[in-house]
Amino acid sequence: MGNLTLQPWGLTRATEVHDDDPPFYASVEDVRPDPDGGWRVRQHRPVKLWDEVKKVIARRLLGPRCEDGEVISFTSYDGTVLVCHERGEGPALVCLPGGPGRSSRYLGDLGGLAAQRRLLLLDNRGTGESAAPRDPDTYAMDRMVADVEALRVRLGLERMDLLGHSAAGGLALLYAARYPERIGHLVLVTPSVHPAGIEITDEQWYAQIERRAGESWYESRLPDLKAWDAGDESRRLRAQPFFYSPWNETAEAHATRFAERSVEAAKRFHTNVPAAERTRASLAKVTTPVLVIAGEQDPGPLPAHAAELAGIFPRGTSIVLPGAHYPWVTAPKTFAEAVERFLDG
């Protein structure tokens, strides 16, 4: 460790390099990795807790972090203040919630994935703790790509592992198409495939639905599904059994607790989607590993759609997991292990 000149009250008087751990009195704002090894400590005020210094070291090496339940806030391109929540420890994984129009709370810890990964869960604009924009047209998926990039910059990550679920799978696709050099790994969980020009036909949708005909709730909930599919949002919650497998107490609790969504954000999310041909051409140039996850019982995307989407990428692969649209809820261990294996590969 380098020699430091100390004031009586414990402040450093000059910048020094420490070969070992930073000293306990080092200022939180003034600890940085030295290019030649060790830690560079600049003068300023003291800190009392070694835990504070460890937080700074983690920020410098892995990007800013906060404790579970706290938030990271940042300002996007148009001045809208957005928030992401952190859960867990380990390498960063930026997570985009779907809905569209849902806050990130429904993602939870992604089936225990937070035990291996530091989940950075973005509340998209107008949802959760993020502010609503002045211009409602910025709820469009293509415009929200800039929010994801603003988050990456705020986190200080040169490249990031990115996960998108459902509608936000489409957002993640558009981000990858625009910023391929910023992606480390891309995980698409039961994603929207429409931005890539892949269509789910009514015949495919209802053929998958009919696979649940033997379940006790099927007959009573089928009218709700059809009404919701026809545009009656009041029936959405009662249609949820078709999007979980199995439909049990755990699934019902999740569906009920996280039913809230922003109507305005949902209404405008799919407007002005870029031409699929251009998006596919850009995605074909994404050379980082891509994992597309389909749920075995999910009405959409079906495993065939997931495989088609994965096939666009030079290093894309698809897998089918037990469950439906929320596989981390009903098969948490299987889901977390599959994602961790991919990210660690």
Read off the pLDDT of each residue in 17-22 and give the average, rounded to a whole number.
46
CA distances from 57 to 45, 49, 258, 325 (A): 17, 13, 35, 38
Kindly state the average pLDDT of the residues 276-291: 97
Q: What is the pLDDT of residues 177-202, one digit of tens each?
A: 999 999 999 999 999 999 999 999 99
Average pLDDT over residues 1-20: 38
Is the Cβ–Cβ distance between 254 and 329 less than 8 Å? Answer: yes
Half-sphere exposure of 222 (CA within 13 A, CB side): 14
Residue 3 placed within a domain = no
103 pLDDT higher than 50: yes
Residue 11 has pLDDT above 70, yes or no: no
Name the residue with higher pLDDT: 56 or 6: 56
- What pTM was estimated for this model as a whole? 0.81
Query: Residue 93 pLDDT > 90, yes or no?
Result: yes
- Judge whether 235 lies within some domain: no
218-224 long-range CB contacts below 8 Å, 24 or more apart?
A: none
Q: Domain check: are 192 and 119 in the same one?
A: yes
Give the residue with greater pLDDT, 129 vs 5: 129
The rounded mean pLDDT for the chain is 86
Q: Where is the domain boundary, 36, 62, 88?
A: 62
**Residue environment code for 89-125, b if the CB has 16+ CB neighbours within 10 A, otherwise e:** eeebbbbbbbbbbbbbbbbbbbbbbbebbbbbbbbbb
- Would residue 91 count as lying in a domain? yes
Residues 192, 110 within the same domain: yes
pLDDT per residue over 132-182, tens digit each? Answer: 999 999 999 999 999 999 999 999 999 999 999 999 999 999 999 999 999
Instruction: Please identify, among 5, 31, 62, the residue that sits at the C-terminal boundary of a domain.
Output: 62
pLDDT at 5: 33
- Looking at the structure, tell me whether residues 57 and 89 fall in a common domain: no
- Amino acid at position 120, single letter: L
Phi first, then psi: give them for residue 210, nearest 5 degrees: -65, -15
Residues 6+ apart with CB under 8 A from 281: none
Same domain? 185 vs 333: yes
Tell me the helix, strand and coil percentages in the chain, rounded to 5.
Answer: 40, 15, 40
193 shares a domain with 100: yes
Q: Domain boundary at 8, 40, 62, which?
A: 62
Residue 225 has pLDDT above 50, yes or no: yes
Q: What is the mean pLDDT of residues 32-53?
A: 46
Whether 49 and 178 share a structural domain? no
Predicted confidence at residue 70, as pLDDT, reads 77
Quick check: is 216 in a domain? no
Structural domain contains residue 4: no
| Residue 24 clears pLDDT 70, i.e. is over it | no
Q: Is residue 272 part of a domain?
A: yes
Q: Looking at per-residue confidence, does 21 or 208 come out higher? A: 208
**154 and 274 share a domain?**
yes
State residue 47's pLDDT score. 35
Q: For the residues 226-252, what does the mean pLDDT come to? A: 96
Q: Is residue 177 a part of any domain in this protein?
A: yes
CB atoms within 10 A of CB 307: 17
Are residues 163 and 43 part of one domain? no
Whether residue 146 is found in the same domain as residue 277: yes
**Domain check: are 168 and 94 in the same one?**
yes
pLDDT in tens, 300-324: 999 999 999 999 999 999 999 999 9
Domain presence at residue 233: no
Residue with tokens 């990115």: 162
pLDDT score at 185: 98
User: Would you say 242 and 299 are in contact if contact means Cβ atoms under 8 Å apart?
Assistant: yes
Q: How many domains does the chain have?
A: 2
Domain of 27 in residue numbering reads as 16-62
User: 18 or 122: which carries more pLDDT confidence?
Assistant: 122
Domain CATH number, residue 164: 3.40.50.1820
Mean of the pLDDT values across residues 240-251? 98
- pLDDT for position 345: 84
- For residues 54 and 87, membership in a common domain is answered with no
Tokens of 53: 């210094």
Residue 174: other Cβ atoms inside 10 A: 23
Q: What pLDDT is attached to residue 38?
A: 53
Q: Tell me, yes or no, whether 193 and 120 share the same domain.
A: yes
